[in-house]
Amino acid sequence: ETGVTQTPRHLVMGMTNKKSLKCEQHLGHNAMYWYKQSAKKPLELMFVYSLEERVENNSVPSRFSPECPNSSHLFLHLHTLQPEDSALYLCASSQDYLVSYEQYFGPGTRLTVT
């Protein structure tokens, strides 16, 4: 595997379900990110991890819970989501966070909440 991978690629879940999104980067990077992309809106940064520590949480509802067990893996745990949470969830990584390195994106998880 190369670059940034994400699983699953598609997910349909009910509002009472609990599911997790997984991201893995094979680039040796130190920073990882979760973004949400909804139709007609810019990419929204949700969470940033640098060296496994959360450094940014952009006022994201608590029904989204990130986890970063090591610098290569990032999870987004989902529970009691709302239909408006349906979107493309993108994971990205960069060499470091505190300097302005370019970010590389995974293929995304298309989430539908029914």
90 binds another protein (CB under 8 A): yes
Q: Which stretch binds another protein (CB under 8 A): 18-26, 37-45, 59-67, 70-78?
A: 37-45
Omega prior to 8 cis, within 30 of 0: yes
Token pair in block for residue 9: 């690629």
Nearest to another protein of 17, 86 (CB atom): 86
Assess 100 for contact with another protein (CB under 8 A): yes
Close Cβ partners of 93 (under 8 Å, ≥ 6 residues apart): 4, 25, 27, 29, 31, 32, 33, 103, 104
Interface ranges with another protein (CB under 8 A): 33, 40-43, 45, 55-56, 88, 90, 97-100, 102-108
